[in-house]
Amino acid sequence: MTPANPFTTLIQPHELQALRDAGSPVLVLDCSFDLMNPAAGCAQFEAEHIAGSLHVDLDRDLSAHDRPASEGRHPLPPREAFARRMAELGLSRGAQVVVLDRQGANYCGRLWWMLRWCGHEAVAVLDGGLAAWKAAGGAVETGAAAVPAPGDFTASESLAPALDTNTLMQRLGRADTTVIDARAAARFRGEVEPLDPVAGHVPGALNRPFGENLQADGRFKPAAQLRAEFERLLGGRDPAGVVHQCGSGVSAVPNLLAMQIAGLGTTALYPGSWSAWCNTKGTPRARG
């Protein structure tokens, strides 16, 4: 069963500490990762992490790599396989999950979204990550984590809407669909493309680099500020029609989470994102 008052977007360090002090079932998962050096995340975790937390790897745990290029660089694994992996890490349906990373909620956002995709509502991002936890006096440790006792988590009805390439193609240009691209502005405009075979963006998409949701200390901006910024970006478009994307469906999630924090509702993710779009024959592309 879900906790009576679950944290579903953000959790502050003092709130996590209070849950632990009260003996509430809570699972802390560290998703630190480096796209250009995939081994770095595990090394960062072993050098220092929240006491009792476990490491979750973007490539190993949160992606499937037996898929065609048309599904993108970080295709989602089957829901059942992902749910089994979470159970192996000790997750049970009654637990509050807290996720964090050292990269501005980029990689832990993926886990936050995937748990919701598997029906787990009680998952929240630790606002400010490891730095905020340490600043609040939270306990840290080093080394590899102990293997936990398995939990009973299984996938249930999704809480996270997702679109595939064909569905987005059909909806492109409709008044009820607005694509928000979370990549850096130069990649969005097609001036540079370090990772994918084609540069550019989905025609008609708006650009909001995911880092714009954060303050200088790594915490998310206040809800009212996020709401004002997204409403300005949307320019009167209905927030309910937003579809988020990025390069491979990972860094789009901070924008999706920010809209939820802002009270703008649950919006959709295009998990394949640009890496799937530009590897699919017949998709239109834009630059500038």
Catalytic residue positions, numbered = 246
> Which DSSP string do the residues of the chain spell out, in sequence order?
---SS---SEE-HHHHHHHHHTT--EEEEE----TT-TTHHHHHHHHSEETT-EE--HHHHS---SS-GGG-SSPPPPHHHHHHHHHHTT--TTPEEEEE-SSTTHHHHHHHHHHHHTT---EEEETTHHHHHHHTT--EE-SPPPPPPP------S-SS-B--HHHHHHHTT-TT-EEEE-S-HHHHHTS--SSSSS--B-TT-EE--GGGGB-TTSSBPPHHHHHHHHHHHHTT--GGGEEEE-SSSSTTHHHHHHHHHTT----EE-TTHHHHHTTSTT---B--
Taking each helix axis as running N to C, give the angle between helix 223-234 and helix 253-261, from 0 to 180 degrees, rounded to the nearest 10.
110
Cβ–Cβ under 8 Å, residues 207 and 181: yes
Report CA dihedral (236, 238, 241, 247) to the nearest 10 degrees: 40
- Residue 267 to residue 279: CA distance in whole angstroms: 24
- Which position has the token pair 């809570």? 26
